[in-house]
């Protein structure tokens, strides 16, 4: 049983050190993440606008072709006007000419609208350029800072992680699960010692009878106030030496 308690305390000890390394990074990891997501969202926005621009261009080209065809037809109709033999034919031709005229106007208007939209999209894309560059520069700096901090503690962290893996494998599964659950709930400390008769996690007094039991190192005890795992100072001393 002592080993079980020792293992848990040691696990906490290593996690404390890893937490300290994590703290050195401050808000850099979060800043980097936020910048990355901002940059991605701007880039996605630009891509979406580029696609709209391309679609607009395709549509305008299609319209131009349609326009050319209509103009050709109009030319033919106008030439035929000189060869009509009666009013009925004349009316039919002028009707065709008017109709194609209307279509041409409609296409022109649509192309003007599409060109305006395209221009607006280009301006919007251009507008975010400086902001995007600024964010990229900021990200580069923060990433470099973070990398430096990580590199400075790389060896220590690797050593701690290796040790943690080893201890984790020695920890009983239910103990480990309980440890992780409490650690998550308490944001760090899951295993604590008794200091001046109190739980060093929540500073509530541990009843003397319970203190005696804990000192026997024969069972897993949880603080009745904060739910953390309580170990005797003997366990702590073995590990810390
Ligand atoms: Zn407590």
Residue 237 binned pLDDT confidence (cut-offs 50, 70, 90): confident
Calculate how far, in angstroms, residue 179's C-alpha sits from the geometric centre of ligand 1. Answer: 14
What is the reported pLDDT for 130?
96
Is 239's pLDDT higher than 80?
no
Calculate how far, in angstroms, residue 64's C-alpha sits from the geometric centre of ligand 1. Answer: 79
Q: Which residues of 137-161 are buried (b: 16+ CB within 10 A; e: fewer)?
A: eebeebeeebeebeeebeeeeeebe
**The CA-based dihedral angle spanning residues 48, 51, 52, 54, taken in that order and rounded to the nearest 10 degrees:** 160
Nearest in space to 32 (alpha carbons), one of 153, 133, 136, 152: 136
What is the reported pLDDT for 180?
97
Contact, 206 vs 199, CB < 8 A? yes
Calculate how far, in angstroms, residue 136's C-alpha sits from the geometric centre of ligand 1. Answer: 46
pTM of the entire predicted model: 0.67
Calculate how far, in angstroms, residue 9's C-alpha sits from the geometric centre of ligand 1. Answer: 15
Pairing state between β 198-199 and 221-222:
unpaired
Q: What is the mean pLDDT of residues 162-168?
A: 96
Calculate how far, in angstroms, residue 11's C-alpha sits from the geometric centre of ligand 1. Answer: 18
Which pair of structure tokens corresponds to residue 214?
């804990």
Is 240's pLDDT higher than 70?
no
Calculate how far, in angstroms, residue 231's C-alpha sits from the geometric centre of ligand 1. Answer: 11
What is the reported pLDDT for 235?
87
Q: CB atoms < 10 A from the CB of 65, how many?
A: 10
Calculate how far, in angstroms, residue 31's C-alpha sits from the geometric centre of ligand 1. Answer: 34
27: three-class secondary structure by DSSP: coil
Class of domain 25-154: mainly alpha
Q: What is the mean pLDDT of residues 124-131?
A: 96
Residue 113's Cα: distance from chain center in Å?
37
Calculate how far, in angstroms, residue 223's C-alpha sits from the geometric centre of ligand 1. Answer: 5
Calculate how far, in angstroms, residue 222's C-alpha sits from the geometric centre of ligand 1. Answer: 8
Is 217's pLDDT higher than 60?
yes
Pairing state between β 229-231 and 191-195:
parallel
Strand order in the sheet with 221-222: 198-199, 191-195, 229-231, 221-222
Q: What is the mean pLDDT of residues 24-48?
A: 97
Burial class (CB in 10 A: 0-12, 13-18, 19+), 112: exposed
Pairing state between β 191-195 and 198-199:
antiparallel
Contact, 225 vs 219, CB < 8 A? no
Provide the residue ranges of all domains of the chain, joining segments of one domain with +: 2-23+155-240, 25-154
Is 170's pLDDT higher than 90?
yes
Between the alpha carbon of residue 119 and those of residues 101, 116, 123, 208, 213, the distances in Å are 27, 5, 6, 80, 79
For residue range 66-115, what is the model confidence (pLDDT) as tens digits? Answer: 999 999 999 999 999 888 889 999 999 999 999 999 999 999 999 999 99
Class of domain 2-23+155-240: mainly alpha
Is 158's pLDDT higher than 90?
yes
CA distance 143 to 188: 26
Residue 234 binned pLDDT confidence (cut-offs 50, 70, 90): confident
Say if 2-23+155-240 and 25-154 have the same CATH topology: yes
11: three-class secondary structure by DSSP: helix
Calculate how far, in angstroms, residue 117's C-alpha sits from the geometric centre of ligand 1. Answer: 65
Contact, 39 vs 128, CB < 8 A? no
What is the reported pLDDT for 1?
83
DSSP state of 219: S
Is 11's pLDDT higher than 60?
yes
Average pLDDT, the chain: 94
Is 61's pLDDT higher than 80?
yes
What is the reported pLDDT for 233?
87
Calculate how far, in angstroms, residue 206's C-alpha sits from the geometric centre of ligand 1. Answer: 8
Pairing state between β 191-195 and 221-222:
unpaired
Contact, 94 vs 74, CB < 8 A? no
């Amino acid at each position: 049983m002592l080993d079980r308690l020792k293992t848990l305390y040691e696990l906490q000890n290593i996690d404390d050190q890893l937490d300290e390394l994590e703290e050195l990074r401050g808000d850099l990891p979060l800043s980097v993440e936020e910048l990355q997501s901002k940059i991605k969202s701007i880039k996605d926005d630009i891509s979406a606008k580029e696609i709209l621009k391309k679609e607009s261009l395709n549509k305008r080209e299609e319209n131009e072709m349609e326009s050319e065809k209509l103009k050709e037809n109009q030319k033919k109709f106008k030439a035929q006007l000189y060869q009509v033999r009666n009013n009925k034919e004349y009316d039919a031709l002028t009707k065709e000419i008017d109709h194609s005229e209307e279509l041409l106007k409609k296409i022109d208007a649509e192309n003007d609208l599409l060109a305006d939209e395209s221009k607006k999209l280009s301006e919007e894309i251009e507008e975010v350029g400086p902001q995007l560059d600024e964010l990229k520069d900021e990200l580069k700096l923060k990433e470099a800072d973070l990398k430096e901090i990580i590199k400075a503690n790389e060896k220590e962290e690797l050593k701690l992680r290796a040790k943690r893996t080893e201890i984790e494998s020695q920890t009983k599964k239910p103990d480990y699960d309980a440890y992780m659950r409490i650690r998550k709930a308490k944001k760090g400390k899951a295993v604590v010692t008794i200091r001046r008769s109190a739980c060093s996690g929540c500073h509530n007094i541990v009843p003397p009878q319970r203190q005696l039991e804990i000192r026997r190192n024969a069972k897993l005890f949880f603080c009745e106030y904060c739910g953390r795992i309580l170990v005797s100072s003997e366990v702590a001393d073995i590990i810390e030496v």
